[in-house]
Amino acid sequence: MARKRGISTQATDPAERLYALPLTAITAAVVGVVLNLALFFAWQVWWPQGWTLAHFEEVFRVIPVGRFLWNSVCLTLMTVAGKLLLCAAAAYPLSRMQFRGRRTVLAIIMVTMILPGEVNFLMNFLSITQLGLVDSWFGVVLPNLVTAISILMLKQAFDEIPQDLLDAARIDGAGEITILFRIMLPLIAPWLATVGILTAVETWNDYLWPSLVMAKPDDFPVSAGVLYLRGTYGSSTRVIAAGTILTVAPVMVAFLWTQRFFMRGMDGAVK
């Protein structure tokens, strides 16, 4: 009985098991970490020795950055405007109208969130080809106009609006289109801003789908056009880094400017 008692005490006491670890192994691990950190920081120069804009000038000389930025702005605005309009038009009936198959449609929309976006590349490309939209901006924008997460976010926003407000509008003779555009959409402006910001960032950073659809380099967005630097300056990481900064900087500035709208929308989502 005493022997069993001693074994169970040893198995259930974590402090004794910790002290039982070999001190040599712990010491070796600490020394290894210290040596690795010393070697890492010894070979790193975190502050540039000389400031220069030559790499940015080289990027502007090699690729038409201004043209690529304009293409990205146009594609982003088209995608954001189309998504807000179509997703709001899809979310409003799911939130405020009762019709047969409503729960089934909502379930199908939620199931599509499980599939990664890359799964739809083949079907989207075949559809774009059949419609004759290959090598056009509409071919890039069309598959991204409706997403399940945007519909569900706007549906949640519509659900929070009191029903009495809609009933009063219907008594005054307002139709569903008037209610949607004159009452509902202004009330969910923070949610619309959140969906718009997320869509803008996603569209601006997307390079795989535009690279598949577009054939003429002059119509590429900046996220896809900057990849030309990888072939021309494959060994010059500084020029590639300068091109990457030019790609990311507009999104960062735009997000910092619109983050208050984003936070309002996320605050409504949490509530």
Lowest mean pLDDT among 8-12, 166-170, 175-179, 258-262: 8-12
**pLDDT higher than 70, residue 158:** yes
* Angle of the 189-205 helix axis to the 65-96 helix axis, nearest 10: 140
The pLDDT, as a whole number, for residue 228 is 77
What is the pTM for the complete model shown? 0.74
- Give the C-alpha distances (Å, rounded to integers) separating 123 from 40, 154, 202, 224, 253: 47, 26, 20, 21, 35
Q: For residue 9, which phi and psi values (nearest 5 degrees)? A: -65, -40
The Cα 210–Cα 155 span in angstroms is: 29
Instruction: Name residues whose C-beta falls within 8 Å of residue 242's C-beta, 6 or more positions apart in sequence.
Output: 55, 56, 58, 59
Lowest mean pLDDT among 129-143, 194-208, 241-255: 241-255
The pLDDT, as a whole number, for residue 119 is 77
The Cα 83–Cα 121 span in angstroms is: 19
**Residue bearing tokens 């600490």:** 30
Q: What count of residues does the chain have?
A: 271
**pLDDT higher than 60, residue 263:** yes
The pLDDT, as a whole number, for residue 243 is 84
pLDDT band at 26 (very low <50, low <70, confident <90, very high): low
**Residue bearing tokens 């499980």:** 114
Burial class (CB in 10 A: 0-12, 13-18, 19+), 62: middle
Choose between 180 and 14: higher pLDDT.
180
**pLDDT higher than 70, residue 7:** no
Would you say 191 and 154 are in contact if contact means Cβ atoms under 8 Å apart? yes
Identify the CA nearest to 91 among candidates 162, 187, 186, 158.
158
Encoded tokens for 228: 């030309």
The pLDDT, as a whole number, for residue 225 is 84
The pLDDT, as a whole number, for residue 88 is 93
pLDDT band at 44 (very low <50, low <70, confident <90, very high): low
Question: Can you spell out the DSSP letters for the chain?
Answer: -HHHHHHHHHHH-HHHHHHTS-HHHHHHHHHHHHHHHHHHHHT---S-SS---HHHHHHHHHS-HHHHHHHHHHHHHHHHHHHHHHHHHHHHHHHH---TTHHHHHHHHHHTTTS-GGGGHHHHHHHHHHTT-TTSHHHHHGGGS--HHHHHHHHHHHHTS-HHHHHHHHHTT--HHHIIIIIIHHHTHHHHHHHHHHHHHHHHH--HHHHHH---GGG--HHHHTTHHHHHTTT-HHHHHHHHHHHHHHHHHHHHHHHHHHHHHHHHHH-
Choose between 34 and 60: higher pLDDT.
60
The pLDDT, as a whole number, for residue 226 is 84
**Residue bearing tokens 């080289």:** 58
**pLDDT higher than 50, residue 3:** no
The pLDDT, as a whole number, for residue 234 is 56
Instruction: Give per-residue pLDDT as tens, 181-230.
Output: 988 999 898 889 889 988 998 999 888 889 888 888 888 898 888 877 77
Instruction: Give per-residue pLDDT as tens, 70-128.
Output: 999 999 999 999 999 999 999 999 988 888 888 899 898 888 888 777 778 888 888 89
